[in-house]
């Protein structure tokens, strides 16, 4: 990545060889494929007591070498028995490993009846083999409820062409009081 010199070798019709150096600029992600997949990272305890609130970090990973282009969207459906919240200004999440850096400020949130739709802000990209993280804060409302937190990446998000791994879920459960 960046500009470097490449040796070019030229051989004429008399088999005379000459070497010249040419500057070549290597730009990451130019015309390279993109594949986005969500992952829950780091692991978080998924069993709640009524009233507990936990942060779940979701990392949108670009598993290929291209840089995303266009809109990146992730949908988080609501789950009965739990309250899901996206805190726009959050920069760290509380995890089993202590504070974890997140990038909630890189996302715009739209609340719809079925869940939370997150759209990466204008100009935000995910470089090749890079990631973009956010956290969803979950509060346990009703004892005995169980379900999952699910992250669904839009099939064409960021210019990706492989949408076979765009959905991941993590089971969550509330114990009885």
| pLDDT for 20 beyond 90 | no
Of residues 74 and 3, which shows the higher confidence score?
A: 74
Rounded to whole angstroms, how far apart are CA atoms 130 and 37?
Answer: 11
Output Rg (C-alpha) for the chain, integer angstroms: 22
Task: Check whether 53 has a pLDDT greater than 70.
Answer: yes
| pLDDT confidence of residue 32 | 85
Mean pLDDT for the chain overall: 88
Cα torsion at 97, 140, 154, 120 (round to 10°)? -60
Quick: pLDDT tens for 103-130.
999 999 999 999 999 999 999 999 999 9
Distance CA 133, CA 40 (A): 10
* Per-residue pLDDT at 29 exceeds 60: no
Distance CA 71, CA 85 (A): 22
pLDDT in tens, 151-166: 999 999 999 988 899 9
Q: What is the pTM of this model?
A: 0.81
């Amino acid at each position: 990545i960046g500009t470097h010199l490449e040796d070019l070798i030229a051989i004429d019709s008399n088999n005379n060889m000459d070497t010249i150096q040419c500057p070549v600029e290597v730009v990451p992600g130019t015309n390279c494929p993109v594949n986005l997949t969500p992952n829950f990272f780091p692991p978080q305890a998924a069993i709640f007591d009524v009233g507990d609130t936990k942060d779940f970090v979701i990392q949108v990973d670009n598993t290929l070498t291209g840089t995303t282009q266009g809109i990146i969207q992730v949908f988080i459906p609501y789950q009965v028995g739990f309250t899901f919240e996206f805190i726009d200004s959050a920069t760290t999440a509380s995890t089993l490993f202590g504070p974890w850096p997140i990038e909630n400020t890189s996302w715009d949130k739209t609340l719809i009846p079925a869940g939370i739709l997150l759209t990466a802000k204008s100009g935000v990209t995910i470089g090749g083999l890079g990631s973009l993280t956010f956290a969803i804060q979950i509060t346990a409302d009703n004892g005995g409820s169980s379900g999952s937190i699910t992250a669904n990446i839009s099939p064409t998000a960021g210019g990706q062409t492989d949408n076979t791994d765009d959905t991941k879920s993590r089971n969550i459960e509330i114990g009885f009081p």
